Structure 1
């Protein structure tokens, strides 16, 4: 695999308002913001950071990066 064909390590960025800051439970699942799927952690992190900064005034709003590649192929390092 050449550097131009780097392996995709898919990451999902999602966010929403939490009902309790001690647990990851969204107040309204219909309102969860599914931001998008990104080909690597760096791209996902950049989007996550932007979204998190946009909602900094709401203490219950949280954004997360989900490592989809780990869910899709849990045996691979």
Structure 2
């Protein structure tokens, strides 16, 4: 049960992996995609994304993405 004081939970998922080419988000090997985590807000997901992106800055093909999972859970867009 939620109360009015509870912030909206907008689930975001951070994943990453090595891309085939720099110009398209196509993973080199989908079995090697890294699941960084699921986060209750964009701000928390961005912190995790930034940490992983900075840790792999030497590999130009490594990319991390934030997926807006709350939009998949509620495709009508009723979630904020």
Q: Name the TM-score class by shorter chain.
A: over 0.9
Name the TM-score, length of structure 1 as normaliser.
0.92
| Bigger proportion of residues as helix | 1
Long gaps (5+) in structure 1? none
Long gaps (5+) in structure 2? none
Equivalent in the alignment of 2:45: 44
Name the TM-score, length of structure 2 as normaliser.
0.89
Deviations 1:12-33 (A, max 9, x none): 0000000011111100111111
Matches within 5 A, 1:56-71: 56-71=57-72
Cα RMSD (Å) of the superposition? 1.0
Matches within 5 A, 1:1-77: 1-3=3-5, 5-75=6-76, 76=78, 77=80
Aligned residues: 76
Distance 2:38 2:15 in 1: 9
